[in-house]
């Protein structure tokens, strides 16, 4: 099972990504989602995801 973190400042986008992943992949578990790069760093340190899907343009700290 792969652990995945979703990072996007748009709540709707996070919801759609989560839905598509759940529908398409039985071997992926979404361990959390973040609204910006700062939150993503904290969650990544805490949960050690295998995969991160991240938006590029976000407030505070971007996806690059």
**pLDDT 10s digits, 5-31:** 999 999 999 999 999 999 999 999 999
Q: Is the pLDDT of residue 62 over 80?
A: no
Q: Residue 62 corresponds to which tokens in the numbers above?
A: 């971007």
The mean pLDDT value of the chain amounts to 93
pTM of the model: 0.89
Strand partners, 30: 4
Spacing of C-alpha 54 from chain mean position: 6
Fold classification of 2-54 is Rossmann fold (3.40.50)
Radius of gyration of the chain (CA): 11
Q: Is the pLDDT of residue 63 over 70?
A: no
Per-domain residue ranges for the chain?
A: 2-54
Which pLDDT score is estimated for 58?
A: 80
Which pLDDT score is estimated for 60?
A: 75
- Cβ neighbours around 30 below 10 Å, total: 18
């Amino acid at each position: 099972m792969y652990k995945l973190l979703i990072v996007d400042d748009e709540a709707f986008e996070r919801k759609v990504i989560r839905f598509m992943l759940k529908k398409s992949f039985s071997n992926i578990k979404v361990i959390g989602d973040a609204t910006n790069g700062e939150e993503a760093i904290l969650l990544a340190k805490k949960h050690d995801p295998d995969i991160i899907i991240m938006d590029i343009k976000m407030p505070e700290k971007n996806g690059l």
